Structure 1
């Protein structure tokens, strides 16, 4: 009996996988996605993957070195911009830049990926500023970027994806 159950479950899994791989999004090459935190890690990898799939990626990097490295490794569909999510002026400048690039089509996707970790040290060694900096980047920056770009996302009936790490589940106290 168990071999049949396992065989049926495996067949269903493979059928679902085959079906998902055959699905396509129409007009993918005309859709724009903004990703924050593209200097390294997941944001960098996601920008490369989406560029390889034909999307128009707007990659927001914190440093010029990160932007240059990413641009060199991708096609000319990917555009980079410098963004500090803790600076309201930087967010406003990037919002205007994105508006120029997407025009009336709007923003099909916004991936809030920029984030930092708490310095690894005993709590007695950390200051209030250490915690405030983490909240500024990981929470308040995400909120401000989302609020400023939401009209463009709505215009395209797009999606917002917020990336978090396992560090949100770790207690330091």
Structure 2
């Protein structure tokens, strides 16, 4: 009897949730959405996807080439701007540009998508500037862009969508990537509580492993070799070149299984921007839902074992 009641309650919960999440915000064609990192990958696809949906997309690209290609693939509603999220003056100029376009309507959506993933390698191979290169884009850039646009978001009672990662829940590799994504999680949590009283909603997207230009096996392998080349001689001696080659082999094998369907991520972003009741977190990809999310709740010794079993041991490890 109790089991049937529990099943019924769970079923009712999911039915109510499904009904709430199907309710869409009205007058989408009048709403402006600002997206960073639109040259390629998730940002590029989301800009095209929202443009087809009829929203007024303000796409920030790092290069003029990326902006031009995006304009060629979209309608006249979409506007582009050049933005480097590591430079305060670039952010200030983009903020003023957005302010002039949206006027009194304010900004409905901000998608902090711009990000980098390399250099990634064992921490001991890297220097301070290697960590800062990633943190500048993935964390400090997110913070400064968000703070600059908050007045416009408050005016529209809009949405902030921050792209985190499954590696913002559980760190597998060394380097600044997981550090930056853990920071995005913390910033999003505190921001959500602070600005909810203004009617602004904050959402995090936590994708698993997806195949993008940044995560190609060639780029990952080259990144690993460059980190090795810059490592101190005594560090190379401790790890050994066999360790390097084995790691690159493992990386290339894993890259074959990265998900190619980027719409799994952009659909989550679109829902966060257009649903009346967006989720606080979205896990995109089967690996995010069924591997990394459960792992993040497991005991440390199990996580350490499962995270390291496929990787080789350094030459002078005990």
TM-score scaled to structure 2, two decimals?
0.48
Question: 1:144 is matched with which residue?
Answer: 144
Aligned to 2:69: 69
Partner of 1:101: 101
Segment drifting more, 110-119 vs 85-94: 110-119
Contact 1:117–1:167 (CA under 8 A) maintained in structure 2: no
- 1:48 aligns with 48
| Residue equivalent to 1:162 | 162
Give, in angstroms, the shift of residue 159 of structure 1.
Answer: 1.1
Over alpha carbons, which structure has the higher Rg? Answer: 2
Post-superposition offset of 1:123: 2.8
Q: Are the equivalent residues in 1 in contact too, given 2:36–2:112 (CA < 8 A)?
A: yes
Aligned 8 A contact 1:109 1:159 in 2: yes
SS at 1:66's partner residue? helix
1:172 is the counterpart of 2:167: no
Superposition pairs of residues 5-154 of structure 1, within 5 angstroms: 23-154=23-154
The farther-off stretch of 59-68 and 144-153 is: 59-68
What TM-score, normalized by structure 1, do the two folds share?
Answer: 0.85
- What is the rounded CA distance, in whole Å, between the counterparts of 1:73 and 1:18 in structure 2? 34
CA distance in 2, matches of 1:101, 1:66: 21
Specify every segment of 5 or more residues in structure 2 that has no aligned partner in the other structure, as ranges: 1-6, 175-318
> Which runs of at least 4 in structure 1 moved beyond 6 Å after TM superposition?
12-16
* Structure 1 residue matching 2:160: 3-state secondary structure: strand
Kindly provide the CA deviation profile for residues 97-139 of structure 1, in whole angstroms up to 9, marking residues without a partner as x.
Answer: 0001000000001111111113133333321101011111111
How many Å separate the matches in 2 of 1:109 and 1:47?
Answer: 12
How many correspondences in the alignment? 168
Gaps of 5+ in 1: none
Q: Alpha carbon RMSD of aligned pairs, Å?
A: 2.3
Contact 2:117/2:134 (<8 A) preserved: yes
CA drift of 1:147 comes to 0.5
